[in-house]
A = this chain, B = another copy of it.
């Protein structure tokens, strides 16, 4: 019995391709629960649909509580958590602790206070999303690609930091007296600088003196270079990954031909 529950709940234990139907439903419920956790921060929704929200939260809490208890029960099926204190070791493992922490807000839904701590506490439910990582290895693949070029990407960030410092120092010197509340210190000028270098350009702060505008134009053009660097690095990394894969396929074909 425990072995069958384990087979359905543990992705690695499922003998067929993909996820088991139980895990598919759980993944969908997690996405739905995160969606509701996001929507419930909206005061208008809370006002109008307060009762419905409590019911929905109660439902999710019961489902995930049952899932949590089942996962603790089947833990010894895995060799890592077998033997004495196996379940205890599972309970204090990082994924199980995240599950528990994400469950807590649901157990205290009756707290109606709007204090910051309560608000923060409720948002723990969004942590449920992290549990989806268990079902998918896709995120690991892309982070691996980034890790292979982490040195170059870090250099891009360093250059970005230096450009940020230079442009905000210059604008502080030039625009500081014309707009003291916006460019009156380097940290203040940095708010403009980061918006310009990343080409976001909110438009709440911008230079007004001719020299300031010329420097802002140069900063914006430099910003394009800042976009070009990581993009170029990642493009090269992805291109390299594809070619390595192609080469392996070709070598396999040659091997078969012998």
Contact = CB atoms under 8 A, between A and B. Distances in A.
Interface of A: 34, 38-39, 41-43, 45, 116, 119-120, 123, 126, 129, 138-139, 141-142, 151-152, 154-160, 162, 165, 169, 172-173, 176-177, 184-188, 190-191, 194-196, 198-204, 206, 210, 213, 216-217, 220-221, 223-243, 246
Given A169-B123, A223-B198, A235 B231 contact: yes
Given A165-B126, A223-B198, A228 B239 contact: no
Given A38-B165, A42-B188, A225 B236 contact: no
28 contacts: A38-B186, A39-B187, A42-B184, A45-B185, A123-B169, A139-B158, A139-B159, A142-B159, A191-B213, A194-B217, A194-B220, A195-B201, A198-B224, A199-B201, A200-B220, A201-B201, A201-B202, A202-B202, A202-B203, A202-B206, A224-B226, A224-B227, A228-B230, A228-B231, A235-B235, A235-B236, A236-B242, A239-B242
Q: Of A34, A38, A190, which is in contact with the most chain B CB atoms at under 10 Å from its CB?
A: A38
A155 B140 CA distance: 10
Contacts of A186: 38-39, 41-42
Contacts of A206: 202, 204
Nearest to A205: B202
Contacts of A156: 142
Given A200-B201, A232-B232, 18 more contacts: A34-B165, A38-B165, A38-B169, A42-B184, A119-B173, A141-B155, A142-B229, A194-B216, A195-B201, A198-B224, A201-B201, A203-B204, A231-B234, A231-B235, A232-B235, A236-B238, A237-B242, A239-B240
A187 B41 contact: yes
Nearest to A123: B169
Nearest to A173: B120
A43 B240 contact: no
A224 B159 CA distance: 14
Secondary structure at the A interface, as helix, strand, loop or mixed, is helix
Contacts of A204: 203, 206
A240 B231 CA distance: 15
A111 B42 CA distance: 42
A159 to B, nearest CB: 7
